A and B are shown apart, each in its own frame.
Chain A
Amino acid sequence: KRYTLHGQKWQHVNLTWSLRTRHLERMDHGWVRSDLHKALEIWSKHSKLTFREINSETADILVYFEKGYHGDGYPFDGRGQVLAHAFFPGTGHGGDAHFDVEEDWLLNGEQNNEGTSLYTVAAHEFGHSLGLAHSSVGGALMSPWYQGLQSDFELPDDDRLGIQVLYDSKNDKKWGNIPVYRPAAPRPNYPNTIPPRTTVRTTTSSTSTTTPRTTTTYTNIRTRQPDIPPANDKPDFCNTTFDAVSIIRKDLFFFKGKYSWRLGDKGLYSGYPALISRLWYNLPEDMNQVDAVYERQDHKIVFFIGRSFYVFNGNILVPGYPKPLTALGLPERLDHVDAVTVWGHNSKTYIFSGTEYWRYDDETDRMELGYPRDIMTIWKGVGYNLNAAFQWHDGATYFLKNRGFWKFNDLRMRVEQEEPRSIGEFWFNC
């Protein structure tokens, strides 16, 4: 009595998924995508898996709503009994999940005993998409029978063990060269608990790769907690704008001046802000700020500073960099970049500066023709002269300017609300 592995598994952990909207006239695509995203998070939370939504048939996991016979040899039966099915990892249908469009699907945690929770059923079906078959353990998510919506759902042990046999657990994560900061004691909750502002001194010679900036010798970040610079040095995240923001190795990094904050799934890591130079080596000594940062689809990390850009493999600067912005195909006249992000909608890289934006194709390494364009042409409601842009774990793109941000709705192609919301309140609990 336990989970059952079905043999195949994905040979890569950074999976892509895409909702195909055939038969979806009656349902709100935004809520459907949100429920699917949350269902996938159940599995990524307990494994090395990551899921990125793209708008392409080439995604690893394609999600369809189908009716009756739909060409895969497993016809649906109308409302009741069979709710959905999914295919184990592999080519063709491999990984795909099909939902019976004739069911009465409840979205976004709606409660009513007549309908069926899409979130719950999707969580189960994605277990198949990842290589889990049914489990006979009572209460397991991979039990064949629908068990209703549990709002505070936590993955049962049987399912968690099954997925970790296939894709390890998150804690084993090898994060390239960036040291994963995991304090010995469980991290206290919260972003608004600022760690004590002490300086860390060592009597032994520093292992730091950069000469200490002050008479105090700091312990190198690679061996211990990030340095805690003297109080008067550090910016206060409740009282500042930000130069750049990006998701790097699944954590959310905010950059200001010479420092960065790092937010994980449980909030702000203690010991931050840390000097950027402690995580990314060989940035210019006289650097006052970074203009934009993003993690490429090949997981290299790109910093834009003035007229140059720097490509890092983990902490290490890739040989041959920095290069001028013109090497990307940006015009000579550009003296800086404001924001860069990969747009989940089409996996293209968008570069913003002033009132203009460009579209860059990471796969062909070329700036696309027909650019620059005015930001307002498609990014309705987003202002000019941005500070940052990034795609967050919920699949939406966020644009930051001054101390506010807009959440962009890919389907409506406009910001969710005209008035920007406070960055400090939303991300730092100010």
Chain B
Amino acid sequence: RPVEQSNKIRSPPVHEDVYGYLTKFGYLPESDLATGNLQTVDQLHDALRTLQTYGNIPVTGKLDAETKELMRKPRCGVPDVTP
């Protein structure tokens, strides 16, 4: 069997995974199917800032390497930001 990468690192999140991740864990509002993913870029930056605060990593608002690393970590399925 191919050697599993340690810490179960999954394939790096790609653009839609970022939205999926941020929506799944409550950082972005569920996309409104009628309007589709019309979150603004500002909303994305705000959401990343909130995630980075939660994860105790530098708060840049950008999808940088530390943020990608955090998003790959195994975690609880309960949203972080609950309405």
Chain A residues engaging chain B, CB cutoff 8 angstroms: 4, 6, 74, 76, 79-86, 113-114, 116, 121, 124-125, 128, 133-134, 136, 138, 144-146
Assembled-state Cα–Cα distance A86/B55 (Å): 20
From A79, A84, A114, A116, B77 is in contact (CB under 8 Å) with A84
State whether B76 touches A85 (Cβ < 8 A): yes
Assembled-state Cα–Cα distance A79/B7 (Å): 11
Chain B residues engaging chain A, CB cutoff 8 angstroms: 4, 6-8, 10, 25, 53-56, 70, 72-80, 82
The 6 A-B pairs with the shortest beta carbon distances in the complex, nearest first, are A85-B77, A80-B8, A82-B77, A138-B56, A146-B74, A136-B54
Q: Which residues of B contact A4 (CB under 8 A)?
A: 82
State whether A136 touches B56 (Cβ < 8 A): yes
Assembled-state Cα–Cα distance A45/B68 (Å): 37
Can you name 11 A-B residue pairings with CB atoms under 8 Å? A6-B82, A80-B8, A80-B74, A84-B76, A116-B74, A136-B53, A136-B56, A138-B56, A144-B80, A145-B74, A146-B73
Q: Which residues of A contact B74 (CB under 8 A)?
A: 80-83, 116, 145-146
What is the minimal beta-carbon distance from B80 to any residue of chain A, in angstroms? 5
From B10, B54, B75, B82, A146 is in contact (CB under 8 Å) with B75
What is the minimal beta-carbon distance from A75 to any residue of chain B, in angstroms? 9
What is the minimal beta-carbon distance from B79 to any residue of chain A, in angstroms? 8
State whether B78 touches A134 (Cβ < 8 A): yes
What is the minimal beta-carbon distance from A46 to any residue of chain B, in angstroms? 20
Closest residue on chain B to residue A125 by CB atoms: B76
> Which of B53, B76, B80 has the largest number of chain A CB atoms within 10 A?
B76
What is the minimal beta-carbon distance from B21 to any residue of chain A, in angstroms? 9
Q: Which residues of A contact B72 (CB under 8 A)?
A: 81
State whether B54 touches A128 (Cβ < 8 A): no
Assembled-state Cα–Cα distance A116/B7 (Å): 9
What is the minimal beta-carbon distance from A124 to any residue of chain B, in angstroms? 6
Q: Which residues of B contact A114 (CB under 8 A)?
A: 4, 6
Q: Which residues of B contact A6 (CB under 8 A)?
A: 82
What is the minimal beta-carbon distance from A73 to any residue of chain B, in angstroms? 11
Q: Which residues of A contact B10 (CB under 8 A)?
A: 80-81
Assembled-state Cα–Cα distance A6/B83 (Å): 10
Closest residue on chain B to residue A74 by CB atoms: B77
Q: Which residues of A contact B8 (CB under 8 A)?
A: 79-81
Closest residue on chain A to residue B56 by CB atoms: A138
Assembled-state Cα–Cα distance A74/B79 (Å): 11
From A79, A83, A134, B80 is in contact (CB under 8 Å) with A134
Closest residue on chain A to residue B8 by CB atoms: A80
Q: Which residues of B contact A136 (CB under 8 A)?
A: 53-56, 80
What is the minimal beta-carbon distance from B44 to any residue of chain A, in angstroms? 19
Assembled-state Cα–Cα distance A85/B76 (Å): 6
What is the minimal beta-carbon distance from A188 to any residue of chain B, in angstroms? 40
From B6, B78, B82, A85 is in contact (CB under 8 Å) with B78
Closest residue on chain A to residue B25 by CB atoms: A144
Closest residue on chain A to residue B73 by CB atoms: A145
Q: Which residues of B contact A133 (CB under 8 A)?
A: 78, 80, 82
Assembled-state Cα–Cα distance A116/B73 (Å): 12
Assembled-state Cα–Cα distance A81/B25 (Å): 12
Q: Which residues of A contact B54 (CB under 8 A)?
A: 134, 136, 144
State whether A144 touches B82 (Cβ < 8 A): no
Assembled-state Cα–Cα distance A125/B75 (Å): 11
Q: Which residues of B contact A84 (CB under 8 A)?
A: 76-77
Closest residue on chain A to residue B70 by CB atoms: A145
Assembled-state Cα–Cα distance A146/B72 (Å): 11
